[in-house]
Amino acid sequence: MKPEKLILADALTLFLKDLNTKFIFGVSGANIEHLHDSIYRLGDNKLSAILAKSEFSASFMADGYARTHNTLGVCCSTSGGAMVNLAVGIAESYADNVPVLAIIGQSPTFLEGKGAFQDCSGKTNTLDGLSFWQSITKYAVKITRPEQFWDSVEQALKSAFHKIPGPTALLIPRDLFEAEVHQRPNHLSTNLIDYRAIHPHKSSSILALRKLLQQAQKPLMIVGKYAKYYQAAERIKNFAHTFNCMVVTTLADVNAFAHNHPLYLGMVGICGHLKAHDFIKDDADLIIVVEDDCSVMTTTGVMSSLNNTPLVYLGTDSTKACAAVQVDLAIEGDIQLILDQVLADYSGPALAKYVQVSTPMENHIQANSHLLTDKQHGNAGLSVSNAIESLAKFLPNVNQVLFDAGNCVAATSHFLNFPAHIKTVIALGMGGMGYAIPAAIGAQLGNNAAQKSMVFTGDGGFLITGLEIQTAVEYNLPVLFIIFNNNMHGMCVTRQQLYFDKRITASSYGKIHIADLVKGLGSQENLWSSCVEDILSLESSLHDYYTHHSCKTGVLEIKVTIEELPPFIPFLVAKGEMQVDNNKMLQNV
């Protein structure tokens, strides 16, 4: 028989274990150590504490875990500087609508405002931790009495999944972790699905959409970043088949629709493909946006066309899209239910013949072959695009690809044709460097042993969170970290070359040797590493890793010795390589 009461730390641990959250990412400390001790005692290999090298990496891990596995990520920290570090990743989750629960220990209540270590009570000129967290979460609460605990936990979970997903935070003082609370209330579900509210939509809007589709000759769907989160991929494909919609994806999830499908045109937006942009500007007579906010990452290059073509939004919340572009019809609700109702008993015209298009890589190379300067250098040196052609051959070996920020990611997301089974992940909410390495660790921990991950990042991202590769080694994770090294922040340098008369400042540094650095993070038995400077050594190293070492962590440093302009629309416009319909905005992107 269960005891009527137990300490709060144990109650929280048992509940998270019953929710099947599996992991809590964090760094221990004085005001969170009760929770870690409870996980040690009660986790039973069903809930594990994952030690990160920093709290901001811990929050990126939780974010990556939540994004790739359509679930709740959980992270924790103590108060003070640790709490502020943890906020870096939580701010990303807030901006990109990712459900993450942050548990933050606080100074003991009886010492608040009285000189407590790492005091964040807001008393006597200390940081107001609650207000701080309320600004970057959907819901944040400080538990000051044991009676608050279960209601606060329930509200945190409901808020994380209600309508627009997002992070929530529980601030728990050290002494409250030891306070007694009742057993979990019977009404509080341990199935996360129960916290995902189903949102109704108006049937009249469905009829209006059907009418628009029947009238359209060349409809187009923009499939956004939340489509896979809401598990709508199969319904989107059926919708495209039924209404003969051409389909484009966005940088937020470049592989949201199968690249080899005859209806797929490519990626639209800031790193978009010319074929996709041309269709929107010249052909589309109806645009259907599915679960995308229509940020500048999506609309760059096609803003005027989007505003001058009938546009329908389908998804959970249209607020951001309506603020960004002219939306003629918005249908809000559960995207699966919306698509099901549109397709139900539809008896429209017969399918038109698929429009055949060339692949995105062909589109860009044919239109911009003069940018690919590596072609004239043979095997002497490497550029990003040259390396990508070799990397493409090994994509079938992986299940997840995570992108960091920078020129290399603009190129990889643009040039690579991803197999349909791969999940692609990028953090565009706050858009900072350093996300992909720890996020891949969180993502990979949720995989089975046969599933593998690949990371594309630059040397700048590595210098921020690269030591987390030791965490991947510690847990024997089969992740290949591909690091493009040109000893600079490439996108910043390109901007200074184009917009500031080539005055390069605060963007480059002396040579670093990444493959040598990472050798200290593991042994040859659990860490593979290689540094390549030409195409032959690149292909040889990739073959070696995926033939002999893919069951362990790998680091592949690619020395970029040939610089080229990335397929990033603001840069192409600044160089006079292309024209778009919103030139004035581009330097602000």
pLDDT value of position 576:
78
Could you tell me if 70 and 40 are in contact, meaning their C-beta atoms sit under 8 angstroms apart?
A: no
Q: In angstroms, rounded to a whole number, what is the distance separating the alpha carbons of residues 348 and 91?
A: 45
CATH fourth-level superfamily of 203-343 = TPP-binding domain (3.40.50.1220)
Strand partners, 343: none
CATH fourth-level superfamily of 5-195 = Thiamin diphosphate (ThDP)-binding fold, Pyr/PP domains (3.40.50.970)
CA-angle at 480, arms to 518 and 453, nearest 5°: 140
Could you tell me if 468 and 533 are in contact, meaning their C-beta atoms sit under 8 angstroms apart?
A: no
Which part of the chain has CATH 3.40.50.1220? 203-343
Domain topology for 369-566:
Rossmann fold (3.40.50)
In sequence order, the 6+-apart residues with CB closer than 8 A to the CB of 265 are 220, 246, 247, 248, 273, 275, 276, 279, 357
pLDDT value of position 532:
98
Give the count of beta carbons closer than 10 Å to the beta carbon of residue 151: 13
Residues in the chain: 589
pLDDT value of position 575:
83
Which part of the chain has CATH 3.40.50.970? 5-195, 369-566
pLDDT value of position 368:
44
Q: Are strands 23-26 and 48-51 parallel, antiparallel or unpaired?
A: parallel
* Upper half-sphere CA count for residue 313 (Cβ side, 13 Å): 25
In sequence order, the 6+-apart residues with CB closer than 8 A to the CB of 530 are 515, 537, 541, 544, 545, 554, 555, 556, 557
In sequence order, the 6+-apart residues with CB closer than 8 A to the CB of 359 are 259, 417
Could you tell me if 464 and 436 are in contact, meaning their C-beta atoms sit under 8 angstroms apart?
A: no
Task: Please give the chain's pLDDT, 589 residues, in tens.
Answer: 677 889 999 999 999 999 999 999 999 999 999 999 999 999 999 999 999 999 999 999 999 999 999 999 999 999 999 999 999 999 999 999 999 999 999 999 999 999 999 999 999 999 999 999 999 999 999 999 999 999 999 999 999 999 889 999 999 999 999 999 999 999 999 999 999 877 777 778 999 999 999 999 999 999 998 887 778 899 999 999 999 999 999 999 999 999 999 999 999 999 999 999 999 999 999 999 999 999 999 999 999 999 999 999 999 999 999 999 999 999 999 899 999 999 987 766 544 444 444 444 444 434 444 444 434 444 568 999 899 999 999 999 999 999 999 998 899 999 999 999 999 999 999 998 999 999 999 999 999 989 999 999 999 999 999 999 999 999 999 999 999 999 999 999 999 999 999 999 999 999 999 999 999 999 999 999 999 999 999 999 999 999 999 999 999 999 999 989 999 999 988 887 666 555 444 455 5
What is the token pair recorded at 8?
């709060």
pTM for the whole thing?
0.94
Q: In angstroms, rounded to a whole number, what is the distance separating the alpha carbons of residues 194 and 203?
A: 25
pLDDT value of position 163:
84
The stretches of 416-474 forming alpha helices (DSSP H) are 436-445, 459-465, 469-474
What is the token pair recorded at 572?
């192409």
Rounded to the nearest angstrom, the gap between the alpha carbon of residue 7 and the centroid of all alpha carbons in its chain is 36
Tokens 């290689």, residue located = 530
Helices H, strands E: what count in the chain?
Answer: 24, 20
3-state secondary structure 238-296: HHHHHHCCEEEEECCECCCCCCCCCCEEEEECCCCCHHHHHHHHHCCCEEEEECCCCCH
Q: In angstroms, rounded to a whole number, what is the distance separating the alpha carbons of residues 457 and 58?
A: 18
Q: 98, 97, 99, 123: which is closest to 109 by C-alpha? A: 123
Coil, strand or helix: which one is 477? Answer: coil
Q: What is the DSSP letter of 325?
A: S
In sequence order, the 6+-apart residues with CB closer than 8 A to the CB of 584 are none
Look at the alpha carbons of 183, 187, 188, 192 in this order and tell me if their dihedral is positive or negative: positive
Look at the alpha carbons of 261, 262, 267, 273 in this order and tell me if their dihedral is positive or negative: positive
